[in-house]
Amino acid sequence: MNGAESLVHTLLANDVNVCFTNPGTSEMHFVAALDHIPGMRSILALQEGVATGAADGYYRMAGKPASTLLHLGPGLANGLSNLHNAKKAGSGVVNIVGEHASTHIELDAPLTSDIEGIARPVSHWVHTSHSAATVGADAAKAVQASMKAPGQIATLVLPSDTAWNEGGVPQDAVDLPAPAPFDESQLAQAVDALDGPETLLLLGGGALTESNLETAGRIAAKTGCKILSEWSNARLERGAGRVFVGRVPYPIDIALKVLEPFKRIVLIGARAPIGFFAYPGKPAILTREGAEIVKLADAGADLGAALTALSEGTQASATPPAHVVEASMPERPDGPINLDNLAALIARAIPEDAIVVDESVTTGRAFSPATKGAPKHTWLNNCGGSIGYALPASIGAAVACPDRKVMCLTGDGSAMYTVQSLWTMAREKLDVTILVFANRSYQILRGELTNVGVANAGPRAVDMLSLDRPALDWVQMSRSMGVDAVRVTDCDGLEDALADGLSSGGPNLIEVML
Amino acid sequence: MNGAESLVHTLLANDVNVCFTNPGTSEMHFVAALDHIPGMRSILALQEGVATGAADGYYRMAGKPASTLLHLGPGLANGLSNLHNAKKAGSGVVNIVGEHASTHIELDAPLTSDIEGIARPVSHWVHTSHSAATVGADAAKAVQASMKAPGQIATLVLPSDTAWNEGGVPQDAVDLPAPAPFDESQLAQAVDALDGPETLLLLGGGALTESNLETAGRIAAKTGCKILSEWSNARLERGAGRVFVGRVPYPIDIALKVLEPFKRIVLIGARAPIGFFAYPGKPAILTREGAEIVKLADAGADLGAALTALSEGTQASATPPAHVVEASMPERPDGPINLDNLAALIARAIPEDAIVVDESVTTGRAFSPATKGAPKHTWLNNCGGSIGYALPASIGAAVACPDRKVMCLTGDGSAMYTVQSLWTMAREKLDVTILVFANRSYQILRGELTNVGVANAGPRAVDMLSLDRPALDWVQMSRSMGVDAVRVTDCDGLEDALADGLSSGGPNLIEVML
């Protein structure tokens, strides 16, 4: 058995059975091993940002890592920004990066680079194997590292001679790390703090499951505290019958206003609210001055246990939860599409058990309230702020959950970053309906230009924020990669397109003209 | 004057007047400064790999750096692989990377990352400014670093408060570094080594200008030595009336055969030949055992002076150069397109003074001999091996040389990596004719799979190397981004398309079905 074969056997023994890849010469032995060892679903991406973003979406929905197989430093580099997003989301990913044979590295060939150096800023764990004999054990350690709660980026660099040499030793399933205990020393203080509407219970990460939200709802009902989630959530369970949780708003002035009432904040899997960016003359810490912050459980802790303890401490366990959402549906709008009737149409279309991958940026600010009463669904946000996450993450979500429908909501600027995703969706026949919001600009930056204090931007500045010269034709773009597409300009058209797309069973794209 | 304004003034004073960018919030003050200070041509890219690849192509043709303006760590990360290519090509680039305000970094916001850590593996020079007052001086140092011969990657990280705070101090033009002297201690040995056809004069980088090639041709005529260039050349001047230089072949067995005769190798701006990859049981050093290697001048040295000294030492200065190419044109082929008649048609179409940006990979192996006698032109190779360089580099070449026609020769797999380039070409109305060679596979990897010793690859492996499921429609793809396109399947069609495209004056794409 060679090193490459020991890698594949070890990953499979550890239940890592999906590989998002764009391999090159230095990975050919892995490709060969994937070929003759059954069990790994290998999915080709035409740019590595697609592969790493897919691994992020996969982890969020599967609760276990996918592997990526990347070509040397440059292949890893192309996937780096979506690894950044995955890291911030607490997603586990096992990156396998090919490297030149050990004897070749010192020759400084064209593709030679500092792979560990490239990996480190986005990885929690980085290791280079030094012989075929250790590849299996190293791969097992990578899986362990990736599964440290809430999920980590593990990058294993494999020189090609460690792949092709004989002497590989596959590893059986290894123990996976348990989440850390929550901070019991803070429990009494947290229980004391939960005292009426001047207290905020701020939830993040794994606190946003259906059952954890229900516990939070009981606590809110019993104590009168408010609950909110962070602005960016890796995975939020929503819809009719579940406890509703709003998000701390993105715009800084609105966030300050929303958070101003809270004298006490208890954190469960969340961090104390800060601004996405700093702005001249505005605060970056969004909580009121002197607010008491109780850190009961960070993202890596057992959040279910923390909420249960809090519920018991406040004697809320038998209290029916507050904020349980009743099924509701916005009125059917008609006429031209604006942000409100767009939100209404999306809310009306969300299928039961759908996964909504949201990178709608400015267009989507009205989506949360409008979709509150839709059938049960799962909502994924971009957690790292690097645009181009939604199309790849939709691939990963669809691969993880083949029986669920995926709705991908993305701005046109974001979608262009990883547009190659469409081809992979077509190849894998994934059940994804994509809405591209074609406002033909980096709309968010128009606001940000004002926020940083720039009034009266001139034409050269505006040109750097505009996508309308030339206009992108998303229908042709999508079809060129094998994904059926349609353009809609009014509510009737969008309603029909959503009905058609969501019932098609395969990938499809709707260009929504704004 | 704020820091951002001092940056723009300093860049302009140092003749850096092109900026390839995709800015974000943290760069809004730079966008504002670019808006109201005239002189900087700002060119928007829809993904940062386009911006950095364009800067590479720009430097090769302009001989001075462009700036890039990138959004935080993730924006830089997206541009990393084409910075790797630029680094290996010896191209100078001035990266300006926005960072959170100094007070914001410690809060670990979603977009916070280790920007210097991301920059370092691809940069020769990395610096973070700490106040508005130093931005101008730091920018001047970045330009100096980028211009160290043959060209370097300089990355300047600017926290947003250094942009928006007052107190900026612009710098005037600074002295640019001269190339290092060549190694005179090796001159006598090099002159001695140049003794008949068992000596190779191996040229790279700046040794491949028209006049330096002419000097090399004189030396070859006088001493009987052979001349070759490296496989990957950042910029090679070719065509009728110039001294022809072949390339060390990429396939390892052929390279070994070509290099076997040479007992002595004199290096001028080149490195001793090594394999692009290591293969089991094959050598990585491609020169014959015991070959004498004389390193007269590395890529950073004054290569013209080295060649002149060598010419004088061998008393070749008055000898007419060998290998001067006579104008010639292959016969006009017809019928279906194959690799030979494709090469012939390209050779027949190359316009006088064209810039050929070549990422044709397997398709292009016959292009060099066929195009030998075409009118004078410039040929650019991918020097770092990270695919997706050609479309962006064509942007940079076209911006640097608006009066010259650019032909971009690219495989379909490579073109998909940075396909967003098409939009920038359309927006900037660049005179680029793109040939996409649609063999619908990563054809090179089929050979590499065999090279690493994998016989009888099965369907799962072949699927990872294939782009035919679904087929990419390059005509729709191109038109979707505003670039006119046509598909050709035979020689007549390609000849017509080349004539139309090259006379159009704007960007156009030809999908060549193979």
Please tell me the distance in Å from B216's CA to the nearest CA on chain A: 25
Report phi then psi at A238, rounded to 5: -140, 180
Asked whether the beta carbons of residue B480 and residue A463 sit closer than 8 angstroms, the reply is no
Per-residue pLDDT, A107: 93
pLDDT in tens, B300-317: 999 999 999 999 999 999
Is A464's Cβ below 8 Å from some Cβ in B?
A: yes
Give B458's pLDDT tier (boundaries 50, 70, 90).
confident
* Dihedral sign from CA coordinates of A14, A17, A22, A28: positive
Distance of CA A137 to the CA centre of its chain: 29
Instruction: Select from B266, B276, B25 the least CA-distant residue to A112.
Output: B276
Asked whether the beta carbons of residue A121 and residue B114 sit closer than 8 angstroms, the reply is yes
Asked whether the beta carbons of residue B278 and residue A103 sit closer than 8 angstroms, the reply is yes
Q: Which helix (H) or strand (E) holds A294?
A: strand A292-297
Is A276's Cβ below 8 Å from some Cβ in B?
A: yes
> Taking 80 as the threshold, does the pLDDT of residue B490 lie above it?
yes
Per-residue pLDDT, B92: 98
In sequence order, the β-bridge partners of residue B301 are B180
Alpha carbon distance A193, A180 (integer Å): 23
Give B457's pLDDT tier (boundaries 50, 70, 90).
confident
Is B49's Cβ below 8 Å from some Cβ in A?
A: yes
Cα A104-A156-A141 angle, rounded to 5 deg: 135
Asked whether the beta carbons of residue A25 and residue B459 sit closer than 8 angstroms, the reply is no
Please tell me the distance in Å from A438's CA to the nearest CA on chain B: 13
Per CB-CB distance under 8 Å, the chain A contacts of B35 are 457-461
pLDDT in tens, B54-90: 999 999 999 999 999 999 999 999 999 999 999 999 9
Please tell me the distance in Å from A479's CA to the nearest CA on chain B: 7
At position B13, the amino acid (one-letter code) is A
Is B101's Cβ below 8 Å from some Cβ in A?
A: yes
Separation of first and last alpha carbons in chain A = 57
In sequence order, the β-bridge partners of residue B276 are none
Alpha carbon distance A391, A418 (integer Å): 7
Per-residue pLDDT, A455: 75
Nearest to A452 among B29, B113, B460 (CB): B29
Which residues of chain A have a pLDDT value below 70? none
How many other β-carbons are positioned within 10 Å of the β-carbon of residue B416?
A: 25
Give B480's pLDDT tier (boundaries 50, 70, 90).
very high
State the helix-helix crossing angle for A3-13 and A28-36, rounded to 10 degrees. Answer: 50
Per-residue pLDDT, B416: 98
Find which of A256-260, B175-179, B247-251 is predicted with most confidence, using mean pLDDT.
Answer: A256-260
Burial (CB count <10 Å: 0-12, 13-18, 19+), residue B189 = middle
Is A147's Cβ below 8 Å from some Cβ in B?
A: no
Q: Which helix (H) or strand (E) holds B501?
A: helix B491-504
Please tell me the distance in Å from A160's CA to the nearest CA on chain B: 8
Per-residue pLDDT, A275: 93
In sequence order, the β-bridge partners of residue A198 are none
Per CB-CB distance under 8 Å, the chain A contacts of B416 are 46-47, 420, 423
Is A419's Cβ below 8 Å from some Cβ in B?
A: yes
Is A445's Cβ below 8 Å from some Cβ in B?
A: yes
Per-residue pLDDT, B454: 74
Asked whether the beta carbons of residue A470 and residue B476 sit closer than 8 angstroms, the reply is no
Q: Find, in chain A, the residue whose alpha carbon is nearest to that of B460.
A: A35
**Residue found under tokens 């980085």:** A126
Is A469's Cβ below 8 Å from some Cβ in B?
A: yes
Per CB-CB distance under 8 Å, the chain A contacts of B453 are 164
Question: B430, B506 in Cβ contact below 8 A?
Answer: yes
At position B50, the amino acid (one-letter code) is V
In sequence order, the β-bridge partners of residue A125 are A154
In sequence order, the β-bridge partners of residue B67 are B19, B94
pLDDT in tens, B250-280: 999 999 999 999 999 999 999 999 999 988 8
Average pLDDT over residues B146-158: 98
Reading the block at residue B445, the tokens are: 């990897």
Instruction: Select from A17, A71, A20, A19 the least CA-distant residue to A418.
Output: A20
Tell me which residues of chain A, numbers 397 to 416, contact chain B at a CB-CB cutoff of 8 Å.
Answer: 413, 416
Give B449's pLDDT tier (boundaries 50, 70, 90).
confident
Per-residue pLDDT, B355: 98
Alpha carbon distance A238, A241 (integer Å): 8
Please tell me the distance in Å from B406's CA to the nearest CA on chain A: 21
Alpha carbon distance A19, A15 (integer Å): 12
pLDDT in tens, B320-349: 999 999 999 999 999 999 999 999 999 999
Q: Is A198 left (phi over 0), alpha (psi -120 to 50) or beta?
A: alpha
Per CB-CB distance under 8 Å, the chain B contacts of A444 are 25
pLDDT in tens, A418-451: 999 999 999 999 999 999 999 999 988 988 888 7
Question: A213, A187 in Cβ contact below 8 A?
Answer: no
Asked whether the beta carbons of residue A47 and residue B164 sit closer than 8 angstroms, the reply is no
pLDDT in tens, B189-199: 999 999 999 99
At position B359, the amino acid (one-letter code) is E
> Taking 90 as the threshold, does the pLDDT of residue B366 lie above it?
no
Please tell me the distance in Å from B7's CA to the nearest CA on chain A: 16
> Taking 90 as the threshold, does the pLDDT of residue B455 lie above it?
no
Task: Quote the ipTM score.
Answer: 0.97
B331 half-sphere exposure, CB direction, 13 A CA radius: 3
Domains and CATH numbers, chain A: 3-164 (3.40.50.970), 184-313 (3.40.50.1220), 339-513 (3.40.50.970)
